Amino acid sequence: MSPKSAIFLAAAIFLLTVLVRLPAGVLPLLLPAEVHCQAPTGTLWQGSCGELRSGAVTLSGVRWTLHPLALLRARLLIDVQSDDTRAAGRAQLALHTNGDLEIQALSAQLPLQGGLSLMPAGWSGALELAIAQASIQGGHLAAVQGALTVRQLHSDYPAADLGGFELDFPEPSAEAPGTGARIVGNLRDLDGPLSLQGQLQLLRTGAYELAGTVAARNTSDADLQQMLQPLGPADAQGRHAFSLAGTL
């Protein structure tokens, strides 16, 4: 081996050793500005955060495994797992240099209360996420396939146990030209005192529209009837129509 080749080989071995031993503290430099990893341990390739913060959400016991070959394609590919007893879950994330995010095999369970969901005060229950794949582009949801399930939903005012509900996003089908990019989810009840059917439409601009019908299975339940009154009078089958629209 020539001296030049030996020097090159030694330099390559040194560089590889440095990369393999990079501490976990390097990872925060690769994360979006709004995501903070506190007390990192391990290495860049396999480590953990004592506490992970994003906005108002805080998780403890977050572990990751980073796939180094994905860096050659200018993206950060990482398997992440939360051991937080309040919100256990796992997923594979692919973060691109332009800020776009792809999510694969997301599975998580978390309570609706405690600042881990968008539910207002006075509601409780458990949320299960089973997302096969999703993507966020330009800060907006661009695609999603999977289901969100709420179980043991409870309202404090008025006091009522409402059972379970599911929002399912099936595998998207090809749309006709000119219809616009949209995501469609089907909403239904799983059990409980309410019969609910609806459809959620999401546009890539962040606009949404939710419409459907809901009825009390027991028409003599005064608390449920009071809860449904703001939706207006029921039709001949006892169903109340509802419609919500806005921008996320």
Q: Write the pLDDT tens digit of every residue in 84-127.
A: 888 889 999 998 888 889 999 999 998 887 655 667 778 889 99
Rounded distance between C-alpha atoms, residue 126 and residue 109, angstroms: 7
Count the neighbouring beta carbons within 10 Å of the beta carbon of residue 123: 16
Instruction: Read off the pLDDT of each residue in 204-225 and give the average, rounded to a whole number.
Output: 88
Q: Is the pTM of this model over 0.85?
A: no
Residue 145 reports pLDDT greater than 90: yes
DSSP output for 92-121: EEEEETTS-EEEEEEEEEEESSSSSSSPPT
Query: What's the pLDDT at 18?
Result: 41
Query: What's the pLDDT at 116?
Result: 59
Query: What's the pLDDT at 160?
Result: 84
CA distances from 30 to 16, 43, 248 (A): 19, 14, 26
Query: What's the pLDDT at 117?
Result: 62
65 compared with 174, residue with greater pLDDT? 65
Query: What's the pLDDT at 20?
Result: 47
Residue 133 reports pLDDT greater than 80: yes
Rounded distance between C-alpha atoms, residue 30 and residue 15, angstroms: 19
Instruction: Read off the pLDDT of each residue in 55-62 and give the average, rounded to a whole number.
Output: 82
Query: What's the pLDDT at 91?
Result: 95
The average confidence (pLDDT) of the chain is 81
Are the beta carbons of 146 and 127 closer than 8 angstroms? no
Q: What is the pLDDT of residues 198-209, one digit of tens each?
A: 999 998 888 899
Are the beta carbons of 123 and 153 closer than 8 angstroms? yes
Rounded to the nearest 5 percent, the helix, strand and coil shares of the chain are 15, 55, 30
Query: What's the pLDDT at 85?
Result: 83
| Predicted confidence band of residue 37 (pLDDT cuts 50, 70, 90) | confident
| Predicted confidence band of residue 27 (pLDDT cuts 50, 70, 90) | low
Q: Write phi, then psi, for 31 (nearest 5 degrees).
A: -90, 160
User: 182: burial class by Cβ within 10 Å (0-12, 13-18, 19+)?
Assistant: middle
Residue 153's nearest CA partner among 138, 163, 143 is 163
Query: What's the pLDDT at 13?
Result: 38
Share of the chain above pLDDT 70, in %: 81
Rounded distance between C-alpha atoms, residue 49 and residue 189, angstroms: 37
Residue 16 reports pLDDT greater than 50: no
Residue 23 reports pLDDT greater than 70: no
Query: What's the pLDDT at 144?
Result: 94
Query: What's the pLDDT at 215?
Result: 93
